[in-house]
Amino acid sequence: MYKTHTCGEIRLAHAGQVVTLAGWVHRRRVHGGINFIDLRDRYGLVQVVTDPVQFSDAHQGINDARPEWVIQVEGLVRPRPEGLANPNMETGEIEVVAQHVRVLNAAKTPPFQIAVEEEVDETLRLRYRYLDLRRERLRRNLLLRHRMIKFIRDFLDGQGFMEIETPILFKTTPEGARDYLVPSRVHPGEFYALPQSPQQLKQLLMVAGVERYFQVARCFRDEDQRGDRQPEFTQLDIEMSFVEREDVMALVEEMFTKLVAKVVPQKRLLSSPWPRLTYQEAMARFGKDNPDIRYGMELKDVTDLAAGSGFQVFEGTAASGGLVRGINASGLGDYSRKQIDELTEFVKKYGAKGLAYYALPTSGEARSSFAKFVKPEVMQAMLERLEAKAGDLLLFVADQPAVVCEALGRLRVLLAERLGLADPNVLGFCWVIDFPFVNWNEEEQRWDPSHHLFTSPMAEDLPLLDSDPGKARGQQYDLVLNNYEVAGGSIRIHDRALQEKVFKLIGLDPDVARERFGHILEAFEYGTPPHGGIAPGVDRLCMILADEANIREVIAFPKNQNARDLMGGAPSPAEPKQLKELHIKLDV
């Protein structure tokens, strides 16, 4: 055997035993002619010491070893000398006296330190990802991910779900992002697509009578990258028959409440049961449909006051159907004009024309960019509505509703970061419901589904599909956690006539609909049960639970910001022979 024990399991109870360990040299040091190394494997660290007199060969072997060499050590476990225990190591009460040392594989000097948690350029980390994964931070994140998924599998199994794999090669269908296409060698000119999600397949499993399905599914979307997005990602796919919205939400709330208690007990839920916000309420209070509810600083509407304020900018916005909203950044009343100008430039990135402010320093007179144009009684009413006091900074945006929400919603998050309002050990789960069923696409002059093509409208809103589609609500529900959407789901359409009606509403030609979705339309004619589901993002949820800012930190082998694999060199050119076999000619 290469090892009788792992490095992380040796304790005082093993004192007096001879053990065989194998792992990597983590740290190496010499004191008074005695060599010390910390030996590391996946399970932890243990201190190994040498006796240059009694075990000279082992002493020389440890002396020759360098960081990241792979070695095998046979030695005697003994308590550390009095006063030398290390409380920061789980194995800190013992050490192993090396009797025999064998080098299993020497190592070059790594391009960055493995034993030290320090900032390393991400390009270098991704180029040598197999070394990066040896570091404690990444090891801890992968272990958290493993425990998350294991808990989920066990929980859903206990709830009567079946785990079923669906195809990776499927038919190209519009899901909101570009498909990754896979050319077929045996069917020239035809392509498979990698699934953006198993949406149709899981619905077909409901037609098949599975009733309760789940899958830890790999999904693929050819879209621009950001910190919480990757071209290939993992979602927990859940679908259930004979359910309504409340059934799906109750299952997920129970699952994640228990997951937090089991997997990350150091964190606590902000509230239980989780709050529910309508889409309109979320936008009005937070400016976004994926809000962070761990802190206040909510948006306040002053459009009614602005209409008669005497300030032309505010009055003009209100008269044109726009909004005037503000937030109270309590504690920033002493911000300088330069700091406020930086905030103004920030909101301009999201379409706002400017940022009106009213600062109440902790001492001295108030400062404002617009108060002198506002009637005194109106200004006083605005201050009262935003609950202003000394030390506060009031910030206002006047524009069309979408711009106001986007600008102030993002500004709220920025200011909360500066003020340290979001406790990382608090998990602010909430549900957002009652989304618009469709949104008007001004550029294409058509209705677009706000979720996806198969979401069912609210039963009571069905007549609106003919009279006023923009007022109809979808049976959609999003799970939000600490400023991120971590799951989206809906009750699905299970009736062919309604599905075809929705296709028509969004402008999908009937012939195109039959070509793309004929299989599912036909399936709906063979006794399809009411069904619905949800798909939590495994990467994003793990990122939040691990206190990371980027999902690349919880994925073993991620792509970089340009969707490239720097370690393996993908994507890369194909050989001419391969292209010929696939009947492809390049035009680049």
Q: Judge whether residue 175 has pLDDT over 60.
A: no
Output the six-digit token pair for 560: 């970089």
pLDDT band for position 208 (50/70/90)?
very high
Say how far apart CA 396 and CA 394 lie, in whole Å: 7
- Per the CB < 8 A criterion, the answer to whether 546 and 540 are in contact is no
Mind listing the pLDDT tens digit for each residue in 254-281? Answer: 999 999 999 999 999 999 999 999 999 9
Q: Judge whether residue 164 has pLDDT over 70.
A: yes
Span 86-114, mean pLDDT? Answer: 96
- Per the CB < 8 A criterion, the answer to whether 485 and 478 are in contact is yes
Instruction: Supply the Cα-derived Rg of the chain in whole angstroms.
Output: 30
pLDDT band for position 452 (50/70/90)?
confident
- pLDDT given at position 31: 85
Say how far apart CA 186 and CA 378 lie, in whole Å: 74
Please give the full DSSP string across 276-331, using - where no structure is assigned: EEEHHHHHHHHSSSS---SS----EE-HHHHTTSS-HHHHHHHHTT-EEEEEEEET
- pLDDT given at position 110: 96
- pLDDT given at position 369: 95
Q: Judge whether residue 174 has pLDDT over 90.
A: no
Return the HEC string of 546-569.
Answer: CCCCCHHHHCCCCCCCCCCECCCC
Percentages helix, strand, coil for the chain (3-state, rounded to 5) are 30, 25, 40
Q: Domains of the chain by range and CATH? A: 12-105 (2.40.50.140), 138-276+429-555 (3.30.930.10), 296-421 (3.30.1360.30)
Mind listing the pLDDT tens digit for each residue in 7-36? Answer: 999 999 999 999 999 999 999 998 878 899
Mind listing the pLDDT tens digit for each residue in 519-532? Answer: 999 999 999 999 99
Identity of residue 296: G
566-568-573 Cα angle (round to 5)? 95
Q: Judge whether residue 408 has pLDDT over 80.
A: yes
- pLDDT given at position 477: 97
Return the HEC string of 162-228.
Answer: EECCCCCCECCCCCCCECEEEECCCCCCCEEEECCCCHHHHHHHHHCCCCEEEEEEEEECECCCECC
Question: How far out from the chain centre does Cα 57 lie?
Answer: 51
Average model confidence (pLDDT) across the chain? 95
- pLDDT given at position 327: 98
Q: What are residue 220's phi and psi, to 5 degrees? A: -140, 130
DSSP, res 419: H
- Angle between the N-to-C axes of helices 199-207 and 510-523, in degrees from 0 to 180, rounded to the nearest 10: 40
Span 89-115, mean pLDDT? Answer: 97
Span 209-231, mean pLDDT? Answer: 90
Q: Judge whether residue 339 has pLDDT over 60.
A: yes
pLDDT band for position 226 (50/70/90)?
confident
Output the six-digit token pair for 353: 């024309």
Q: Judge whether residue 336 has pLDDT over 80.
A: yes
Span 190-203, mean pLDDT? Answer: 94
- Count of CB atoms situated within 10 Å of the CB of 458: 16
Q: Judge whether residue 151 has pLDDT over 60.
A: yes
